[in-house]
Structure 1
Amino acid sequence: MAEVGVRRGGPADAGVVLRLLDDATAWLAALGRTGQWGAEPASTDPRRIGQADAWARGGGLWLAQAAGQPVGALVVGTATEYVPPATEPELYVNLLVTDRAHAGKGIGGRLLAHAAELARERGVGLLRVDCYAGDDGALVRWYERQGFTATDPFTVQRPGHPPWPGQVLTHHPH
């Protein structure tokens, strides 16, 4: 694969985010892992479409690119309301999704390294992320391999759906 670069995303990239989410959701569903993002495409869910549009317009979207094609998306900003607040200034990873066709090529790690660099540029000593902690905990372990430390577990209650188990992880960029 060509070298992975990172570029700032913008309003025109909402469709890219939805495509990456759709592909990742289909991949997870094919493995029987529907607890994280369900089984329905993000691109058909008005809530997810609105979320992708807000991310694309919000100034915190970054895209990993290889050979001119988007192969991953990162959104950084402020923490979501369902996680415990930070005790110091932070940058929060709101979304990390990579193209499953390029799995295992370090794209997620490259985007997290970019988030750490953004935190350093802003003089912020804390980078946090939350992720799905259900099933076998594989996603939590992946973030730990990227240098994050699991801190606060949490549960999101969702009417009409099973509770969603989550895990906050922290990283202190130097």
Structure 2
Amino acid sequence: MTDQRAVIIRPGGPADASTVLALLDGATAWLVARGRTGQWGTEPASSDPRRIAQADAWAASDGLHLAMLGDTAIGALVVGAATDYVPPATEPELYVNLLVTDRAYAGLGIGARLLEHAAELARDRGLGLLRVDCYGGDDRALVHFYERCGFTATDPFLVRRPGREPWPGQVLARRLE
């Protein structure tokens, strides 16, 4: 078993876009294998021009952070401004734009650790609010994960997509001390 203390979190950079895509591809394959296609669909992020551009933008920003076990990235966190499809915050905040972990390391608390890192980044910036949105469909398992990490569900929303079913989302907030 891997010792969680061996995991470090480091800032990402432009060279890490392919790492983010690989983590997304692995998570998508894991979801598809379990019949959970509502969250990210069935196709790899690395084959979607929109997701490739998104990963490039995240990697070029100062908001990408990677959980590393030795030389292996086992999770990614992107923080920054809220996306335009969620209700705006009523106060300054830090927003979690992406959280993805390598399912081979499930049970190590990597996602929770990355979220705690996001909270530390927010506190360092003098912010008292951390928000995230996630897939709110099916059994709401992802919503429940965030609630176990100290977040409270606030605003449900729908993303309307041409020719496809609306995507059910959920905003969650965590107050910081």
If the length of structure 1 is used for normalisation, what is the TM-score? 0.99
Count how many residue pairs are aligned between Structure 1 and Structure 2.
174
Which of 65, 71, 75 is equivalent to 2:74? 71
- 1:151, distance to aligned residue in structure 2 (A): 0.3
What pairs up with 1:1-174 in 2 under 5 angstroms?
1-2=2-3, 3-174=6-177
Report the Cα distance in structure 1 between the residues aligned to 2:49 and 2:90, rounded to whole angstroms.
34
Structure 1 residue runs of 5 or longer lacking an equivalent are none
Report the Cα distance in structure 2 between the residues aligned to 1:11 and 1:164, rounded to whole angstroms.
29
Structure 2 residue runs of 5 or longer lacking an equivalent are none
Q: Equivalent pairs: percent with the same residue? A: 72
- 1:68, distance to aligned residue in structure 2 (A): 2.5
Which 4+ runs in 1 deviate beyond 4 A? none
* Alpha-carbon contact 1:62-1:75 (below 8 Å) kept: yes
* Alpha-carbon contact 1:117-1:173 (below 8 Å) kept: no
Residue 38 of structure 1 aligns to a residue whose secondary structure is coil
Q: Considering only aligned residues, what root-mean-square deviation do their CA atoms show, in Å?
A: 0.6
Report the Cα distance in structure 2 between the residues aligned to 1:100 and 1:107, rounded to whole angstroms.
10
- Could you give the per-residue CA deviations for residues 8-45 of structure 1, whole angstroms, max 9, x where no partner exists? 00000000000000000000011111100000000000
